[in-house]
Structure 1
C-alpha cells in the first residue's frame, strides 16, 4: 500500500503527481519519495552509470541442503560476489578487498550491514585514505573486455 498524507495521496518528488504508489525508497534510510515509474527511471540511470547491472541471486529453497556455489563471471570465469545496492539493483564485486589507492574511484564499493544482510554502497563524497580497504567492482579485475573477449595474460 502506498504512503498517504491525511486524506491525500503522497506527492512524487520528481513528476509531482499524486499517486498511491508513491513511497519512501532505498534500503538504507529513506532516499526519496517517488512513484514506481520515476523510481525505476532514476535507479536504472544510476545503475547503468555505476555498473550495478548484475542479476539478483535466486532465493535458495529452504528444503534444499546442497552446497551453494558462488557465482562465476560469464566472461572470465572468476568467482564474484553479488550484492544488492541501496537502490534495489545488484552489483558484481570482487571477492577480496583492496587498498583504495589501488582501486580507481569509479570502482570503489563498501558493504554496509543492515538487518536484512549486507548492502553494497559506492564510495563517494569523502575519499578514503589510501590504505583504507574497499571492494572493487568486478569489471576492474575482469580479464575480458566489454565484448566478452579474453585479454592475453
Structure 2
C-alpha cells in the first residue's frame, strides 16, 4: 500500500503531470500538491481576486539595529502593513482593526499567528474572511485599498 502512495508524491493535482517541482503548497494545512507552474497560476488568480498585490517586505540585515518604519502608501501617504497570505502573495492592510459591519465583505481580512514546532509564533499570515460572515461587531482588518483606493468612492 505504501508503494502505491509513493507514486503520487510527484503528481500535480491541477495538471496531473508528474514533476519533481511538485510539493505541498500553502501556509495553513498545506492546501494541495501543485507543480511550480500550476502553483503560480493558482496563487496569482487568488491574489488578483483578493487584491493581494503588495510587494513583499524586505528582509532586514540581522546585524542592522536601526529602526524600520512601516511602509507608506504612495497614493495617500498613510502607514500600511504588508502581510503574507496563505498562498504566498502579499497584501497591504490597514494598521487598525474595524468592526465587520463597517468593512465591506471583499475587504475583510484576519491575521493568523502561525506557531512553530516550539509553539512560539514565528509568522503571521493574512487570511481573507469568507464563507461564514463574522458578527457585526467582530473585529476584522480592512484591506488598505478600501481606505484610500478608487474602491473607496464606490462604498
TM-score by length of 1: 0.88
Task: Confirm whether residue 86 of structure 1 aligns to residue 86 of structure 2.
Answer: yes
Aligned match of 2:119? none
**Counterparts of 1:125 and 1:137, CA distance in 2:** 18
Q: Deviations over 1:49-101 (max 9, x none)?
A: 10100000001101111100011001111000100000000000000000000
Aligned match of 1:55? 55
**Counterparts of 1:8 and 1:50, CA distance in 2:** 31
**Counterparts of 1:10 and 1:66, CA distance in 2:** 44
Q: Which has the higher helix share?
A: 2
TM superposition shift of 1:133:
0.2
TM superposition shift of 1:117:
1.2
Size of the alignment, in residue pairs? 142
TM superposition shift of 1:6:
3.1
Aligned match of 1:36? 36
Q: Which runs of 5+ in 2 are unaligned?
A: 116-121
Instruction: Specify whether residues 128 and 63 from structure 1 end up closer, same or farther in structure 2 by C-alpha distance, changes over 3 A only.
Output: same
TM superposition shift of 1:10:
1.4
Contact 2:110 2:141 in 1 (8 A): yes
Secondary structure of 1:38 counterpart:
helix
Aligned match of 2:150? 145
Aligned match of 2:127? 121
Contact 2:71 2:81 in 1 (8 A): yes
Secondary structure of 2:60 counterpart:
coil
TM-score by length of 2: 0.87
Of stretches 32-41 and 109-118 in structure 1, the one that deviates more from structure 2 is 109-118
Aligned match of 1:134? 140
Q: Deviations over 1:14-67 (max 9, x none)?
A: 100001111100111110100000000011011011010000000110111110
TM superposition shift of 1:8:
6.6
Aligned match of 1:102? 102
The CA RMSD measured in Å over matched residues stands at 1.6
Contact 1:9 1:19 in 2 (8 A): no
Q: Which runs of 5+ in 1 are unaligned?
A: none
Aligned match of 2:20? 20
